[in-house]
Amino acid sequence: MKALYDFSYLTNAIHQWLSSFLSPNGVMITEMILVGLAFMLFFAVLGLVLVYAERKVSAFFQQRLGPMRVGKWGTAQTIADVIKLLMKEPIINKEADRFLFNLAPYIIMMAAFMAMAALPFARGLQALDFDIGILYVAAVSSLGVIGILLAGWSSNNKYSLIGAMRAGAQIISYELSVALSLLTIVVLTGSLQLSVIVESQADGWWLFKGHIPAMIAFLIFLIASTAETNRGPFDLAEAESELTAGFHTEYSGLKFAFFFLAEFANMFIVSAIGATVFLGGWMPLHIGNWEGFNAIMDYIPPIFWFFGKVSFMIFLMMWFRWTFPRLRIDQLLTLEWKYLLPINLVNILVMAFIGLVGWHF
Amino acid sequence: MDEVIAQALESQEYFINMGPQHPSTHGVLRLVLSLDGEIIRKVEPHIGYIHRSIEKMCEHDSYQQIVHLTDRMDYLSCHINNEAVCLAVEMGLQVEVPERVKVIRTIIGELTRLSSHQLWWGVMGMDLGAITTFLYGFRDREMITDIFEETCGARLTMNYNVPGGLMFDIHPNFQKRTKEFVTHFRKKLPEYDDLLSNNVIFRERTIGIGKLSKEDAISYGVTGPTGRASGFSCDVRKHHPYSAYDKVQFNEILRTEGDCFARYQCRIAEMWESLSIIEQLIDNIPEGPFKAPTKAVIKLPKGEWYQKVETARGEFGVYIISEGQKSPYRLKFRSPGFSNLSALDHMARGAKIADLVAIMSTIDLVIPDIDR
Amino acid sequence: MESEALKEFVLLRVPEAEISQGAQYVQAVVPSEKAHTLLSELKSNPQTSFDYLFCLTGVDWPQHMEVVYHLKSTSLNHMVVIKAKINTRENPETDTVCDIWRTAEFHEREVFDLFGITFRNHPDLRRLLLTDDWVGYPLRKDYVDNVNMIAY
């Protein structure tokens, strides 16, 4: 039961058990494999859950029921979809650059995997706790754009190429806003390490502690991260009504599933970062001196807090997608370079001032 | 050195085939786009993928049969197309149809227009990336198709008109259900504004895009809401009233901007007008026969007739040349979409790919209507 | 303009025109050679100002071919039907009216496609509805298609 509140009990127990019959090197390798397997499993489950969630959420926004036939309330629908995608013929068009064409989905998946490694899921449940955690996540998560560009280029399809070029311009631009809005909070925490950022919010979330600049940063983060994951209203790279399916027009079967999965994984990652930096990660909600209330909040295990906050962020992103029309490419870049970026820069200055004077809580 | 750079930076126009299978061409329209990056230099429509030579078929069919072929052209304005042929034949036969028929035709014509505009609204949102609107549009359209189904058994291609009147009388529930629909839709139409019209992104995407001046609209023969958004007063219901349109009060919606948003607003405003037309007529359906007596084999005298009506997309014309036989000698359908499409190149030049999609959906193309 | 005045207007320009009062509109059959001059006069003259060509089509008669122009003036609200008569069915030719009404470009391509009437000076006269390698002109009365039979 204790392990549910602090996962280091569990991880230490495993470590000691492995050490009892393996050499230190053997322990390290075994643990790496275990972590890898755990992440793969988590990835698969994440895909299943998020696809189902997206379909249900969109259905309710559109006044319909969504999948209802496979399993109770259609819960097994995604499993059926996965089986369908696995059994589909992988079609590669004749003129495609086969090597790059096959490589692209793996690059995108890899980027998502690498970013996932640094996320603090709960107390003591974090694969890698860098001292430059945020920088690492921001850097790695934008590696995915290489996969998108490769996919667009190697497909030898003009629609794919246009989609890829749009994605390139878009992700590189919005990467700035994501990083800068995160930096706004880093000004207060004084550390890039994700676990330290979470710990610093034990007495309140940065969204509330950081006054108005933190809220502005949160809004910018929401917009920019939606854009960075290529989701509506910023889904210009796919833009089904303009470019049929954008960069993944020529992909089918399992490789298409990889793109699809990577989109949901990226959505999870940015939501997790947002939840960690702005909403206190796995820290429970505490309100000032309400001892009773705080005690009840503490009773809920951190992992539920984390996934609860992430789900909230994901729901927000789904809400955007199913409400707004899509922007045009020039409007998208105007929004970033003319509005978000200058606001962001000023916001950091204001935040630095607040941090220096000590006006934050 | 400068030359080398200039050479390296020199961009080249390239071509893209948009369609015949493409999500936003709404059918089998093929556009060959000349692009410079994302900017459109030229749009060349290639049509005819669903050409069935209906005009040739009409030369061998009886007039009653011709009515049924018109459903398959602009399937979203099927009733109004039917009506056009029937009116032309009635004009040729000099048959005076009963008042009851005129009123019912007008009500169902307006319901058809509403259902077409609802579908257009949904698709318009979808083309711009807001998929939810599609389902909202269909939700309200469903009530109309239910009324149609109860009236004549079909939901889309209705075939309710015959030369001389209607195929059969309205269902006893017709008035009740239509009134229910009108009260329902009066409440729901503001939702359309909330979801799309007042959305910042939507306005950014449509205002000032795909401009068409009044002179160009007239010269290209662009009619319907598309033409009226440019200030071209072309509502056939006002200028050449047919059926019961001379008995009802309604406004011709005119705007002057001529951009995508004006076309959008025109259609939304037309929905309000249609609702008011239906409200004026639904309680005043005169009693009487639902069909004027006509012969089983209709033979029009020698001569020619042109009947124009206002479909949801614009001015639909039927031009019949008869040599006194049971089939027309020549029959021409002037379809609104055909002329509207011809202005697409003019509107889209210099716009971006995303704008082209917005322009196409505000022209409201129905491909079988263009190809015939 | 009243129909009598319209008739006179046309007769003044094309004396050999056959003018009749149809069921709805004034109809004038003019030789195809003079059609373009008459039509551009009808458009540009402020008395007539037929700025809206709402229907353009071809008709295949046993001995000749016709291109029918339905015109309307949006400002003066009157209508007229002009029929350009081409006295041959072999390689019929007439002048384009694309330069007068832009909508004619598509309509003339359609007429070319289905009737085989060539429009001189048309900017882009190609088949529109049918494929480029189609043989024959389907809306002609003597068109025979053994594959897609529609006559009975």
Domain ranges of chain B: 54-371
- Is residue C73 domain-resident? yes
- Is residue C35 domain-resident? yes
Distance set, CA B269 to CA B180, B190, B274, B287, B350 (Å): 20, 11, 9, 31, 29
Burial class (CB in 10 A: 0-12, 13-18, 19+), A94: exposed
Structure confidence at residue B314 (pLDDT): 87
- Of C25, C52, C70, nearest to B218 by CB-CB distance is C52
Structure confidence at residue C149 (pLDDT): 63
Structure confidence at residue C39 (pLDDT): 85
Distance set, CA A306 to CA A210, A277, A278, B200, C100 (Å): 20, 12, 12, 33, 70
CB contact at 8 A, B171 and B152: no
Structure confidence at residue B289 (pLDDT): 86
Instruction: Return the closest-CA partner of residue B99 out of B47, B152, B165.
Output: B165
In whole angstroms, how large is the CA radius of gyration of chain C? 16
Q: Which residue of B has its CA nearest to C56?
A: B334
Q: Which residue of C has its CA nearest to B331?
A: C59
Structure confidence at residue A360 (pLDDT): 66
Entry field: residues in chain B: 372
Q: How many domains does chain C have?
A: 1
Q: Which residue of B has its CA nearest to A320?
A: B130
Structure confidence at residue A228 (pLDDT): 84
B24 reaches A (C-beta below 8 A): yes
One pLDDT digit (tens) per residue for chain B, 372 residues: 677 777 776 767 888 888 788 877 777 888 888 888 788 888 888 888 888 888 888 888 888 888 888 888 888 888 888 889 888 888 888 888 888 888 888 998 899 999 999 999 988 888 888 888 888 888 888 888 999 888 888 888 888 888 888 888 888 888 888 888 999 889 888 888 888 888 888 888 888 888 888 888 888 888 888 888 888 888 888 888 888 888 888 888 888 888 889 989 889 998 998 899 988 888 888 888 888 888 878 888 888 888 889 888 888 989 988 888 888 888 888 888 888 888 888 888 888 888 888 888 888 888 888 888
Tokens of residue A266, six digits: 């990226």
With CB atoms and an 8 Å threshold, state whether B130 touches A61. no
- Of B56, B221, B343, nearest to C138 by CB-CB distance is B56
With CB atoms and an 8 Å threshold, state whether B131 touches A242. no
| B304, B307, B335, B344: best to mutate for the C interface, most C CBs within 10 A | B304
CA distance A156 to B14: 14
Domain span including residue C67: 3-90
- Is residue C101 domain-resident? no
* Segment B212-241, tens digit of pLDDT: 888 888 888 888 888 888 888 888 888 888
Residues whose CB falls within 8 Å of the CB of residue A137, separated by 6 or more in sequence, listed in order? A115, A118, A119, A194, A269, A273
Question: With contacts defined as CB-CB under 8 Å, which chain B residues touch A230?
Answer: none
CA distance C72 to A316: 55
Give the pLDDT means over successive 10-residue stretches in chain A (361 positions): 69 80 82 85 86 88 85 84 84 82 87 83 75 84 84 85 86 86 85 82 75 85 87 78 78 83 87 86 74 76 85 89 85 88 89 78 64
DSSP-derived secondary structure letter, B77: G
In whole angstroms, how large is the CA radius of gyration of chain B? 22
With CB atoms and an 8 Å threshold, state whether B125 touches A325. yes
CATH number at residue C48: 3.30.460.80
Q: CA of B307, closest CA in chain C: separation in Å? A: 9
Structure confidence at residue A25 (pLDDT): 84
CA distance A197 to A135: 13
CB contact at 8 A, A104 and A151: yes
Residues whose CB falls within 8 Å of the CB of residue B89, separated by 6 or more in sequence, listed in order? B63, B163, B298, B300, B320
- Is residue C68 domain-resident? yes
CB contact at 8 A, A140 and A299: no
ipTM, interface predicted TM-score of the complex = 0.86
A61 reaches B (C-beta below 8 A): yes
Neighbours of B47 (CB within 10 A): 25
Cis peptide, bond prior to residue B20, ω within 30 of zero: yes
Architecture category of domain B54-371 in CATH: Orthogonal Bundle (1.10)
Structure confidence at residue A361 (pLDDT): 64
Question: With contacts defined as CB-CB under 8 Å, which chain C residues touch B233?
Answer: 74
Q: CA of C60, closest CA in chain B: separation in Å? A: 8
Ramachandran bin of A161, using left for φ above 0, alpha for ψ from -120 to 50, beta for the remaining angles: alpha
B91 reaches C (C-beta below 8 A): yes
Question: With contacts defined as CB-CB under 8 Å, which chain B residues touch A61?
Answer: 132
**HEC assignment per residue over chain A:** CHHHHCCHHHHHHHHHHHHCCCCHHHHHHHHHHHHHHHHHHHHHHHHHHHHHHHHHHHHHHCCCCCCCCCCHHHCCHHHHHHHHHHHCCCCCCCCCCHHHHHHHHHHHHHHHHHHHHCCCCECCECCCCCCCHHHHHHHHHCCHHHHHHHHHHHCCCHHHHHHHHHHHHHHHHHHHHHHHHHHHHHHHHCCCCHHHHHHCCCCCCHHHHCHHHHHHHHHHHHHHHHHHCCCCCCCCCCCHHHHCCHHHCCCCHHHHHHHHHHHHHHHHHHHHHHHHHHCCCCCCCCCCCCHHHHHHHHHCCHHHHHHHHHHHHHHHHHHHHCCCCCCCHHHHHHHHHHHHHHHHHHHHHHHHHHHHHCCCC
